[in-house]
Structure 1
Amino acid sequence: MQGNVFIVGLGLIGGSLALTIKRQHPKATIIGYDVKKNEMELAKILGVIDECSENFQSDAERADLVILAAPIIETEKWIERLALMNLKKDVLITDTGSTKKSVVDQAALLVEKDICFIGGHPMAGSHKSGVAAAKERLFENAFYILTPLHSEQSVEVDKLKKWLSGTHAKFITLSAKEHDGITGIISHFPHLIAASLVGQAKENQDKFPLLQRMAAGGFRDITRIASSSPVMWSDISLRNKEVLLELMDKWMEEMEKITALLHSEDYNGLHTFFSLAKEYRDQLPSSEPGAIRSFYDLFIDVPDYPGVISEITGHFADEKISITNIRILETREDIYGVLRVSFQTEEDRERAFHCLKQKTTYELYRD
């Protein structure tokens, strides 16, 4: 396909979408806009975009595809602004926000002007941010949710999929309500719980001086998502508050049941609670990306002697395998291995696994 693609917001997501479109549609012109001028200029230097936007309105009005890759609150403001412009008659407008209902509601301003808007949410991310972290393969095999405003938009949905075909993502069409309900359960609510668990640990730090050190193991792992951007998650929580409030009420009811089981020392009831959770969790897909960014960790049971870490990283270097983090685990309850190495992709972890299997006798474990 060819035409002008206007990407508003040149962070990790916007930059990565620009790269995938450039690769798949080399005849298209990618115009980038970001409120941070240095990010926009860096995107041009890195070849992520073809042009830096000099004038938002004029660039929007010559676009065939507009991608709003900005925070949700900002996206809603851009939609209001776009509705006042003289856009092309057949322009497609989409976004990348993690909640959809408020964005889709705002998009009614575009519909009134016969402008096509299709909500979008690529479920992919990285431990890095900014346009410098953008990469073509970010969305590969990830779910990419599309939320058209009307079922009659099937032609436009197919057109948007063609524009985004270079992502190699798995496209799923949902209503905005379905999207927010699902992501509320498996992404937004878990972030609230993780943050509350960390807050509880912080409150007890003075009472138990060793708490922070011992939390470096499994507790740190299960609360990793609490390290996400406070600005982004405040934004998401407020935009999906109805779903989150309903989930919170149900969760508190569940906790009251657990409280009663503990008070009554009901072993069978507790066993059923943990068994049902384990059964369902064990059935979840282990090889597909989901709403929360996957962590690809390899646990290595190594002897504690000088040079063992450099030995392992040396093997990875020989095979040109990149790692994102490496940690020695002091507290290891329910975790195999004394060394945890994190990778960007499952492919990198598998390469590392087979590399060490061939070159060492260490015990290796994956979740």
Structure 2
Amino acid sequence: MQGRVLMIGLGLIGGSLALSIKKAHEKAWVVGYDVNEEQGRLAKMLTVVDELAVSIDEEAVKADLILIAAPVIETEHILHQLLRLELKGNVIISDAGSTKQEIVRAGAKFKEKNIAFIGGHPMAGSHKSGVSAARPLLFENAFYLLTPEDHIKENQLNLLQNWLSGTNARFLVVSPKEHDQLTGVISHFPHIIAASLVHQAKRSGETHELVPRLAAGGFRDITRIASSNPNMWRDILLHNKAVLLELLEDWQLEMEKVKTMLSSASGSEIHHYFADAKHYRDDLPQKQKGAIPAFYDLFVDVPDYPGVISEITGYLAKEEISITNISIRETREDIMGVLVISFQTEEDRSRAISCIKYHTQYDTTIGF
């Protein structure tokens, strides 16, 4: 395909979308815009985009495809801005936001101008942020949810999917309401729970000074999504408020069930509760990308001596295996420590296992 693409927002998601379009459509010309001028300059320097727009207004009127990868509330403002412009009649407009009902409601006004707005949400991400972390296959095999309204023609939907074919994503068409319910359950609500667990630990740490030290291991791992961007999650919660209030009520009922089990000291009920959760969780797809970025962790048993971390990372560097995070669990004297290394992909982790096995005698374990 050929045409002029305006990519508004040049962070991880916007940058990756731009790269995937450039990879699949050599005749496309991708113009980028970001309120952060430094991100824009970096995107141009890294050839993520072909050109930088001076303003949205100036470039939008020339675009054949407009993609918005901005915070959800900012996306609403951008849509209102685009509504005031004389855009091309055949332009396709889409977004990449994590909520859809409010955004699609704002985008519905394009119907009056016979312009197609199709809500979108590529359900993939990374532990890194910014355009420097962008890569064309970020969305490979990930679900890409599209939320077209009834008036959107099939050829318009197909055109958007063709533009986005370089993502190698798995497109699913759902209603905006269903989208927000699904993402509320599997993404938005878990972030609330993770943040609440951290708040609870913080309160306990005021009276139990060992809490921060003991939380450095498994607790830190299971709550790591609480480190997400607070501005972004403020906007997401406000946009998906109705769904999340319902989920909070369901959660309170679930916790009442647990309280009842504990009060009655029913060992069989407690066992069944955890067993049922284990079975459902173990049956979930392991190699399929979901709404929350997967954590490809590798645990390496290492002796406690100076230089062991640089030794391991040195071997990985020689094999050009990128890591996203590294930490070492607190060790006891004369006991093997545990080095925790996180990778962007399962392939990188598999290569790391082979690399460490070849160069050392250290045992490795995959984190689930």
Quickly name the TM-score band, shorter chain normalised.
over 0.9
The equivalent of 2:317 in structure 1 is: 317
**Identical amino acids, percent of aligned pairs:** 58
What residue identity is the alignment partner of 1:344?
A: Q
> Counterpart in 2 of 1:229?
229
- C-alpha change, 1:158 and 1:337, in structure 2 (3 Å) is farther
Per the alignment, in what secondary structure is the counterpart of residue 27 of structure 2?
A: coil
Aligned equivalents of 1:314, 1:269: Cα separation in 2: 50
Tell me how far apart the structure 1 counterparts of residues 40 and 245 of structure 2 sit (CA, whole Å).
Answer: 38
Aligned residues: 364
SS at match of 1:3: strand
Match of 1:30 in 2: 30
Q: Tell me the equivalent position of 2:102.
A: 102
SS at match of 2:161: helix
1:250-329 superposed matches below 5 A: 250-329=250-329
- Output aligned runs, 1:202-217, within 5 Å: 202-217=202-217
Match of 1:86 in 2: 86
Give the equivalent residue in structure 2 for 1:171. Answer: 171
Q: Contact conserved, 2:297 with 2:342, CA < 8 A, in 1?
A: yes
2:330, 2:337 within 8 Å by CA — same for their partners in 1? no
The 3 A distance-change label for structure 1 pair 358 and 45 is closer
Deviation readout 1:47-90 (Å, 9 max, x if unpaired): 11122112322311111000011111111111112122111111
User: Which range moves more in the overlay, 227-236 or 310-319?
Assistant: 310-319
Please state how far the C-alpha of 1:152 moved relative to its aligned partner: 4.9
Kindly state the Cα deviation for residue 304 of structure 1 after the two structures are TM-superposed. Answer: 2.6
Shift of 1:331: 7.8
The residue identity in structure 2 corresponding to 1:303 is P
Distance 2:318 2:143 in 1: 33
Return the letter of the residue paired with 2:235: D
Mapped partners of 1:331, 1:137: distance in 2: 38
Contact 1:214–1:331 (8 Å) recurs in 2? no
For 2:197 and 2:331, locate their aligned partners in 1 and report how far apart those are by CA, in whole Å: 18
Task: Give distance in 1, aligned partners of 2:174 and 2:291.
Answer: 14
Contact 1:356 1:362 in 2 (8 A): yes
Whether the aligned pair in 2 keeps the contact of 1:299 and 1:337 (CA below 8 Å) is no
2:158 aligns with: 158
Counterpart Cα distance in 2 of 1:39 and 1:339: 33
Gaps spanning 5+ residues in structure 2: where? none
2:69 is matched with 69
Contact 1:69 1:96 in 2 (8 A): yes
The 2-side partners of 1:310 and 1:287 are apart by 30
* Letter matched to residue 12 of structure 1: L
Q: Distance in 2 between matches of 1:14 and 1:307?
A: 39
Q: Which residue of 2 aligns with 1:351?
A: 351
Three-state SS of the structure 2 residue aligned to 1:204 is helix
* Paired position in structure 1 for 2:245: 245
For residues 212-263 of structure 1, what are the alpha-carbon distances to aligned partners after superposition, in whole Å with 9 as ceiling and x for unaligned?
A: 0110000000000000000000100111111111111011001011111111
| SS in structure 1 at match of 2:113 | coil
Question: Separation in 1 of the partners of 2:152 and 2:10?
Answer: 31
Residue matched to 1:130 = 130
2: CA distance between counterparts of 1:210 and 1:98?
37
Match of 2:189 in 1: 189
Give 1:162's aligned amino acid. N
Task: Report the counterpart of residue 116 of structure 2 in structure 1.
Answer: 116
How far apart are 1:164 and its partner, in Å? Answer: 0.8
**Match of 2:234, as an amino acid?**
S
Contact 2:110 2:117 in 1 (8 A): yes
**How much does 1:172 deviate?**
1.4
Map Cα deviations across residues 106-137 of structure 1 (whole Å, 9 max, x no partner): 11111121110111111121222222222222
1:365 Cα deviation (Å)? Answer: 1.1
SS in 1 for 2:32: strand
Q: Structure 1: which 5+ runs fail to align?
A: none
In the TM superposition, residue 42 of structure 1 has moved relative to its aligned partner by 2.4
Deviates more, 1:123-132 or 1:306-315: 306-315
- Mapped to 1, the partners of 2:16 and 2:209 lie a distance apart of 43
Contact 1:79 1:110 survives alignment (8 Å) = no
Going from structure 1 to structure 2, the CA distance change for 1:322 and 1:177 (only over 3 Å counts) comes to: same
Is the Cα contact below 8 Å between 1:217 and 1:331 reproduced in 2? Answer: no
- TM-score, normalised by the number of residues in structure 2: 0.95
CA distance in 1, matches of 2:72, 2:170: 23
Is the partner of 1:190 in helix, strand or coil?
helix
Contact preservation (8 Å) 2:201, 2:211? yes
Q: Contact 2:32/2:52 (CA < 8 Å) preserved in 1?
A: yes
Aligned twin of 1:52: 52
Secondary structure class of the residue paired with 1:289: coil
C-alpha contact 2:142 2:288 (8 A) present in aligned 1 = yes
Distance of 1:113 and 1:242 partners within structure 2: 30
Query: Is the 8 Å Cα contact of residues 337 and 365 (structure 1) preserved in structure 2?
Result: no
